[in-house]
């Protein structure tokens, strides 16, 4: 859970132009986030030309150096996926 607290503080600064940032998945489920787990992030409101820079900034967060990052952008996934995350997954809106 410590990684979540760090992300809540850091991610809004890193993905400044985003409309919304959501952390979801095993990182929020007690006892389910392991060393080999990835960090699931869903970012809303960035243009495609901003995706690479946003991903680079998230990867540059020191506390995530040894964590696989699965960052998805709202324009790259369908609405069914977004609805699933919002209705069936533990998630935190951090922006």
User: What number is the average pLDDT over the span 20-32?
Assistant: 85
Mention every residue, 6+ apart, whose C-beta is less than 8 A from residue 89.
24, 25
Model confidence band, residue 75 (pLDDT cutoffs 50, 70, 90)? very high
CATH architecture of 2-93: 2-Layer Sandwich (3.30)
Q: Does the pLDDT at position 5 exceed 70?
A: no
Model confidence band, residue 74 (pLDDT cutoffs 50, 70, 90)? very high
Give the Cα separation of 69 and 38 in Å (integer). 5
Structure pTM?
0.81
Give residue limits of the domains in the chain: 2-93
User: What number is the average pLDDT over the span 19-29?
Assistant: 86
Tokens linked to 22: 């959501």
Give the Cα separation of 42 and 84 in Å (integer). 12
Output the furthest CA–CA distance in the chain (Å, rounded): 37
DSSP of 45-58: S--HHHHHHHHHHH
């Amino acid at each position: 859970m410590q990684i979540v607290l760090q992300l809540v503080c850091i991610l809004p600064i890193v993905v400044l132009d985003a409309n919304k940032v959501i952390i979801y998945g095993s990182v929020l489920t007690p006892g389910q986030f392991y060393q080999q787990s990835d960090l699931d992030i869903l970012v809303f409101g960035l243009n495609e030309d901003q995706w690479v820079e946003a991903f680079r900034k998230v990867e540059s967060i020191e506390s995530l150096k040894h964590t696989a990052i699965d960052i998805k952008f709202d324009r790259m996934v369908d609405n069914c996926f977004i609805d699933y995350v919002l209705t069936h997954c533990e998630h935190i809106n951090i922006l």
